[in-house]
Amino acid sequence: MKKTKGRYINASSKKIKNRQYTSYEDAPLKSINEVEPVPQNLTLKFLKVFLILFFSVVVVLALINIDKLTPDNISHWFQYELLGKTEGNGYPVRFNGISVETGNFDTFDRVPIYCSDTSVVVLNSNAGEFQNTQHAFASPILNTNKNYSIVYNAKATGFRIINRDDTIYTGNAENKIFDADISPNGTYVILHQGSDYLSDCIVYKRDNTKKYEYHFADYYMNNISVDQYGSRAAVSGVSAHNGSIVSVLYILDFNQSNYLQKYEFYDSYIYDLKYLDNGNVAAVGSSAAYIIDVNEGNKTEIDYNLRTLSSYELPSDYGILLSLSANEDGRNCDVIAIDCFGKTETTISLADKALSLDYLDGRIAVLNQGNIHIYNTNGKKIADVGTTSDARKACFGDSSCMYILKTSMISKSDIQYKE
C-alpha cells in the first residue's frame, strides 16, 4: 500500500514540517486485530501466586485435621474432607441384611459402622456409604476404634481388618477364634483355640507379621483387649476350682515372655474387658465390675450388691457405665458411672430399663423405650432426644447428634441441650 503524507503547521513560525504517519485504513488486518501476548514472566508470577495460595490452604486444612493424617487415611481425608467427596440422601436409612446385633453397631471416627449378617458398612454423616463390603461369616463380631475395625467369625477362623474406605487385610487364624481386637496404630491380637494349649494369644504388627505369642495352659480364655499403643493386652478366661467358677485376668507385655500381672476372681464370670486410654483396665463380671491399676498392681471392685446387670458400656476414654436393677426385667435401675481410676462419679435412678449406654466428653446417654436421656457426670439431665419404640442402641456421633440402631434401619437425631 502507498503511504501518504501529512502536514503540521506551527502557527507562530508559520513553518511547515513534514511528518509521516500510518493510516489504519492502509495497515494490514493482521496488525490491527492481533492481541499482544501476555508476557511470560507475568504468567509465571500468576502461577506461583496460585500455587502458593493453594498449598497454603492445604497446609491449613492439614494442620486442622492433623489427628486424621495417619498413613492409612490420608487418601480418605483428601477425597472426602478436602475435596468433599461425600454422598447420601440423609437418615434414616435401611441397613443391608436381615439383622444387626447391638454389639455390631458402633461409631467409627464419629460416623456409624455396622456389621449385619451379610455386610460390613461404614456410613458418612449424610447416610452415604464410605464402604459396603459383603462377608460370609456365620457369626460375625465387630470391634472398632477411631482408625481401624476388625471383624471375625466367632468359633471359626476367618477375620478381616478394615479402615473407613476398604478391607485392607483378610486372614485366617490357626484355630477357632474366641476374640480379637485391634489398636489405633494397627497392631492386632487374635485369641484362639490352642493346638497344644487351651488357648493361644497371637499378636500381629500392622504389616500382618507375627510380633508376639502367649499360650494359656490352665484357663479357657475368652476376652482380649489391646492397649492404644499396641504394646500390651488384657486377657480374661475361666476355669473351675473346687466345684466353683474362677475367672482370671492377665496383663501381657509384648516385650517380655512371662505375663506382667495376674488377677483371680472367685465365683464371678468376666463378661467383657477394655484396656483404657489412661493405661488401666476395666472389666465387667457377673457379680461385680473392676478397675485394674496396672502401674500400682491392684484392683478396685464395684460390687453389684445382688442386683442384676442389664446393660453396660466400656468407653476407653472414661471407664465403666453400668445399669443395675433389683428386678430381673431391668426396670427401676441405677445407671452408675465409674471413672478410669475406679471412682464412682454418679448414680442415676431410672424407672425404665436402660437398653443401651454411651459416653462422650463428659456426657452420658441412656436409651430407654422411646427416649434418649443425656446427663453430665454429676447426674444432671442436660438433654432429651425422642426416638421410636423399636430403638435398640444409641451412640454419640459427636456432641450434637446421636446415631440410633432400630429394628431395620439406622436413624440420626440432633441434640438440643437445655440452657
- Distance separating alpha carbons of residues 184 and 182, to the nearest angstrom: 7
Q: Which residues have CB under 8 Å from 223's CB, separation 6+?
A: 178, 179, 191, 235, 236, 237, 270, 271, 272, 273
- Distance separating alpha carbons of residues 399 and 265, to the nearest angstrom: 37
**What's the farthest any 2 CA atoms get from each other in the chain?**
137
The reply to whether omega before 92 is within 30° of 0 (cis) is yes
Q: Which three cell numbers stand for residue 22?
A: 500510518
Helix (H) or strand (E) holding 50: helix 40-64
Q: Are 113 and 96 in contact (CB under 8 A)?
A: no
| DSSP class of 79 | I
- Distance separating alpha carbons of residues 82 and 296, to the nearest angstrom: 45
Give this prediction's pTM: 0.81
Amino acid at 23: S
Per-residue pLDDT of the chain (419 residues; tens, 9 = 90+): 444 444 343 444 444 444 454 454 454 544 445 555 656 565 677 677 777 777 777 676 666 666 555 555 555 555 555 555 557 889 999 999 999 999 999 999 899 999 999 999 999 999 999 999 999 999 999 999 989 999 999 989 999 999 999 999 999 999 999 999 999 999 999 999 999 999 999 999 999 999 999 999 999 999 999 999 999 999 999 998 888 899 999 999 999 999 999 999 998 999 999 999 999 999 999 999 999 999 999 999 999 999 999 999 999 999 999 999 999 899 999 999 999 999 999 999 999 999 999 999 999 999 998 999 999 999 999 999 999 999 999 999 999 999 999 999 999 999 999 86
Q: Are 214 and 220 in contact (CB under 8 A)?
A: no
Number of Cβ atoms within 10 Å of the Cβ of 158: 17
- End-to-end Cα spacing for the chain: 88
Q: Are 259 and 215 in contact (CB under 8 A)?
A: no
